[in-house]
Structure 1
């Protein structure tokens, strides 16, 4: 399986053995929830590598050491890491940090003492963070409880990307004049082209990206009127319901679509968002309705009690799917801005209704929504 190569190093012979080792690492890392939550995959890989080498040297079976490895890893202390990154396209000037769901937003100048009071040993790291980027005085933090810093960073990156998509969804700027981001910030840029012919020359300039920052101390970032408070609450949950997971997924696809400058790609991602939110396979049914029919029916009943409005929603979704189908099958890739406005508005309305309307307060699955739609339809 393997052999040593100087100073106790270890290599694996054959692709099958390499795959077996990788699969073992993945299994060990994900098998125990506590290990998965608090230890990074790289750490598990490193520890297992040491075990394999030890077994080769001593001629013993690796299973003899697995239990001790798990026991030792679990005996390590759990730390509460606040993972901080720069937040671009936003300003925040209030005297206290902004807490929304699992996130805390700071102004590096105004709230420096707050941070040093919480983390007196972090002065050097905070100085480094200031020097890395002079373009933003705003940083965002999320707390992760893990045994090693690498795992804390891995988990925080997922949450911070969720923040990006959610705040972009809340801003809902189809024209992309405003953007707030950590890793995928739509920075302001100018693109220039020249046009040449035998008789005429010309040039073209286009400016795109975030023009002005969002003032988070004025923006309704946590306003219950728009259901924003519920969205942050859902993101902060350790075990969201199936319906809440669908809402998070739909927001993620919407956030990606809002950043995409290519309209055809954006529309496809909005359709992914609709499907992530509403599509499901009916249990015990030999024949399921078409995706388009199911989505149209669900959306119409969730959003409106008015027959004419429901018919308009049904027509809109069928039109959206027709355009998406043309894109997928190599037809026209031209998508009008009106279609983008329509599909985003539809998603915004759906998600806001699901998180705000008392009717859906105790619903945990999309199947429950489906049963509710059936009752409404036949009542």
Structure 2
């Protein structure tokens, strides 16, 4: 359907009524005017379907702007079009104001809890992220004292898109920090937005208060407790996190990806696997933790060679995983066995089984962390750019008996 026909369909869903009669209209979408009349959408469901059709008509507009921005642009102009009776002939003409906009760089800053700067430093940069104190900003974002995190998003047209990309980058920052620590005990919390978590000291913050009671079979309370949860804030300028050696090489990969550079096959797999492991370590849902462990395994090791007769994904992943991280035949067998066991839990989850879940995936996470370090630093992988090369190395090893 042409753009003009789509616009005509929208116009047929609108009508002009006296503003005093709005109470008689079933639709809640209306635009008032100073002349005492209002434009009303007569069928809300059909109207929003037609609006979405207009919003997705131009591929450039759809790729450059958020749905929120596009919908507002359209709806700001619909009442005038209805009153004038004019129908735009093309999406290019209708969206000209948006299409004429030039891309730019936008820096997004948000309050953040769970981080600290040591040694009296007031601002700090790590990869594509900047950190500082809210009170040092030219325009404060909150009455509270605390820190902010910011990042610059390049080549964007829409503030909504910039904010969405920045929020995703902040989530990825948290996942990388959790991955780098190697901690899987849910003791790290990095959270953006207000209100900030209250400080107990420069090093620690209050998170929440938990309360519970336990009753026996007779309904008598046998145990009860109220506990405040405090955790240590991450010293983001500590050398443990800032080093670009071994796993710290991930900062360089993420910085390049954030800037829009294309990573090679193995670099992209390593970075995305680390992010999945960060999610696996931080989620409190054991099923999600298992799924993200398996996602990390598949990101890093899965391949589709199109062969008619091929091993299962679990077997392929286990073989490559064991080849990279284990040093002898016995260790390889144990890692492969553990990996396939975790894959069994994954299958039970996605296929609706009731198999009992365990946290053995966290052991796999630990070995995966070692595998990523091996891929990033080992001499034998120095020039490897694709997973297919590692598959060939495994095949050579298997036939070298």
Q: TM-score, normalised by structure 2?
A: 0.75
More strand, by proportion: 2
**1:88 corresponding residue in structure 2:** 113
1:32-181 pair list within 5 angstroms: 32=60, 36-37=63-64, 39-50=65-76, 56=82, 61-64=87-90, 66-76=91-101, 78-94=103-119, 95=121, 97-109=123-135, 112=136, 115-116=137-138, 123=139, 126=140, 129-131=141-143, 133-134=144-145, 137-145=146-154, 146-181=156-191
Task: Judge conservation of contact 1:281–1:288 (CA < 8 Å) in 2.
Answer: no
Aligned CA distance change for structure 1 residues 179 and 49 (closer, same or farther; 3 Å): closer
Deviations along 1:109-141, whole A, 9 cap, x unmatched? Answer: 5xx1xx44xxxxxx2xx1xx231x45xx22110
Pair member with larger Rg: 2
Aligned residue among 205, 210, 215 for 1:190:
210
Task: Judge conservation of contact 1:326–1:332 (CA < 8 Å) in 2.
Answer: yes
Task: Judge conservation of contact 1:234–1:240 (CA < 8 Å) in 2.
Answer: no
**1:300 corresponding residue in structure 2:** 322
The Cα RMSD (Å) is 3.4
Give the C-alpha shift of residue 168 in structure 1: 1.7
Q: 1:222 aligned to 2:242?
A: yes
Deviations along 1:8-49, whole A, 9 cap, x unmatched? Answer: 636375856643431441353xx228x734x33322223334
Q: Quote the Cα distance in structure 2 between the aligned partners of 1:216 and 1:14.
A: 49
Give the C-alpha shift of residue 296 in structure 1: 0.5
Aligned CA distance change for structure 1 residues 49 and 359 (closer, same or farther; 3 Å): farther
Deviations along 1:148-200, whole A, 9 cap, x unmatched? Answer: 43232122111111112221222232222233333699934323213244496
**2:308 corresponding residue in structure 1:** 286
More displaced 10-residue stretch of structure 1: 202-211 or 163-172: 202-211
Give the C-alpha shift of residue 320 in structure 1: 1.8
Q: Quote the Cα distance in structure 2 between the aligned partners of 1:239 and 1:264.
A: 34
**1:353 corresponding residue in structure 2:** 374
Q: TM-score, normalised by structure 1?
A: 0.78
Q: Quote the Cα distance in structure 2 between the aligned partners of 1:214 and 1:168.
A: 10
Aligned CA distance change for structure 1 residues 144 and 334 (closer, same or farther; 3 Å): closer
Structure 2, unaligned runs of 5 or more = 1-8, 18-32, 198-205
Aligned CA distance change for structure 1 residues 343 and 18 (closer, same or farther; 3 Å): same
Q: Quote the Cα distance in structure 1 between the aligned partners of 2:380 and 2:81.
A: 60
Q: Quote the Cα distance in structure 1 between the aligned partners of 2:314 and 2:399.
A: 20
Give the C-alpha shift of residue 144 in structure 1: 1.9
Aligned residue for 2:113, secondary structure, equals coil
Aligned CA distance change for structure 1 residues 363 and 97 (closer, same or farther; 3 Å): farther
Aligned residue for 2:189, secondary structure, equals coil
Aligned residue among 337, 340, 354 for 1:331:
354
Aligned residue among 256, 259, 274 for 2:279:
256
Aligned CA distance change for structure 1 residues 78 and 166 (closer, same or farther; 3 Å): same
**1:320 corresponding residue in structure 2:** 342
Q: Quote the Cα distance in structure 2 between the aligned partners of 1:251 and 1:210.
A: 26
Structure 1, unaligned runs of 5 or more = 117-122
Aligned CA distance change for structure 1 residues 318 and 349 (closer, same or farther; 3 Å): same
Q: Quote the Cα distance in structure 1 between the aligned partners of 2:244 and 2:285.
A: 32
Q: Quote the Cα distance in structure 1 between the aligned partners of 2:57 and 2:303.
A: 29
Q: Quote the Cα distance in structure 1 between the aligned partners of 2:389 and 2:277.
A: 24
Aligned residue for 1:156, secondary structure, equals helix
